[in-house]
Structure 1
Amino acid sequence: MAVVLVTGMSGTGKSTVLTLLAHNGYRTVDTDQGDWIDRTGEPMWREDRIDELIAQHERSGEPLFIAGTVANQGAFYARFAEIVLLSAPIDIVLERVASRTGNPFGKTAEERNRIIADTREIEPLLRESATVEIDTRQPLDAVLDQLAALAGAPDLRSST
């Protein structure tokens, strides 16, 4: 089974879809949570931890969804069956970060300006390396079905 990277800008729905995929029995790792990222400078994956995580799932044959957007994720692209870019228009993203409760990032004007700048600068780079782009304005169950299909799984609509 596949190891799938779910990437995208803040507010595109990475944490939401991972939570729901986990609820449906998939192994998921949100690298924004826990000790996956070295935050001493530019946020970067701790490559030894990510390498071991992927190696475990390559051996297990179980599907794995990893979410994150960090500068060194490209070092692992060859090991992902799919690189999925979640996207949404900037006005939707800003609305989502303003209303979310589980993550404080995006509440200040400075952070919102950073999201806008990052979307202009970084999202095109993510798009170039993505194997699939999913617009998260569509119904959430459709997004989940697309992700499950990439991992070789059946439609999740009846279980969400």
Structure 2
Amino acid sequence: MEKVAAQQDLSNQQIGDPAQTAAYSKAITDQDVEKVGPEKVDGVDTTRYKVTVDVSELPGGDRMSRQLGPTLPMQVWLDDEGRLRQQRIDMTVKAPASASAKPDSTASSKQLKMSTVMRFSDFGTEVDAKAPPAEQVTDMTDQALRGGNEQG
């Protein structure tokens, strides 16, 4: 995600960083929230909300607005204690000129649509997480920016 952010001129943003959820919530007002209703997430009772984040209120919002537009649609699921159990962000990012592979197309018409779903659980549990070995991971950023739906 850092590589995508750098290529999208969002290099100062923490796209996909769960810690930024707090920054997103600060850009939400009561008018931006629609209660959808109860749902279970991983067996836990939650309430689902549709929210609209004013991108200009986020850190680096002016730059983000150029790539994402004025608002960022998001859905959140909160448990009975008000803890975030799930978050879904749907965004359309304008692709940079370098992502345009076809010479006859204009870069301004290229867009990258992404949906990110994050689930949060096991609050307060100690974790000993280790990154997988390098040979088990692949950087798919360039392929995604060229059009992740293309098969080769």
- TM (norm. structure 2) is 0.26
Larger-gyration structure (1/2): 2
More helix by share: 1
- Name which structure has the greater RCO, CA cutoff 8 Å, separation 6+: 1
